[in-house]
Amino acid sequence: MKYLIIGLGNIGDEYENTRHNIGFKIIDKLTKDNSISLSIDRHAFMAEYKYKGKTLILIKPTTFMNLSGKAVHYWMQKEKIPVENILVLVDDIALPFGTIRMKAKGSDGGHNGLKHIQETLGHSNYARLRFGIGNNYAKGRQVEYVLGEWGKEEQSQLIQYIDKSIEGILQFISVGIDKAMTFVNQK
């Protein structure tokens, strides 16, 4: 059984440590912890990871955030992965920093990456793991905030929340979305 795990972010050094790139950071930590290398492929950096008899196709789209649906669609088709086996890792300003929430489906919440995935797939019935980045910005400064780098205090706690996100991914592929939501959303 195959799963597609998509970490959203933007390519380029200038975006590497920004809040908007948390999806990339989660994929990077998962691959590093398991000694897996990402390689460049069509529309994404990708790696394959075997876990408990299941295959995870891990991708970091190279299409930039606003065109994420292009990479998602390509890899779903290439690997013949049904929509119920995809999980999108995304930043969320509506959640306090470090809050992790999993949902089976939902709106794009104003997130351009999710919006493009929804437009490309023609629906919003795909799972997502939402990583809270908070909303500590002045009116009109949202773009600066999400494309800004983590603060010192946030950086000191970031790894523990990334690890919690990875636990959520493994729950998703091990026990399914409903039980994974219970596990992730109660912690």
Which amino acids are annotated catalytic? 20
CA 82, 104, 181: angle at the middle one, nearest 5?
A: 120
Is the Cα dihedral 119, 161, 187, 97 positive or negative? negative
Instruction: Give the three-class secondary structure for 2.
Output: strand
**Beta-carbon-side half-sphere exposure of residue 118 (alpha carbons within 13 Å):** 16
Q: Which two tokens stand for residue 121?
A: 């797939």
Q: How far apart are alpha carbons 71 and 81 in whole angstroms?
A: 13
Q: Who contacts 185 (Cβ-Cβ below 8 Å, separation ≥6)?
A: 101, 102
DSSP state of 149: B
Are the beta carbons of 159 and 26 closer than 8 angstroms? Answer: no
Paired residues of 149 in beta bridges: 18
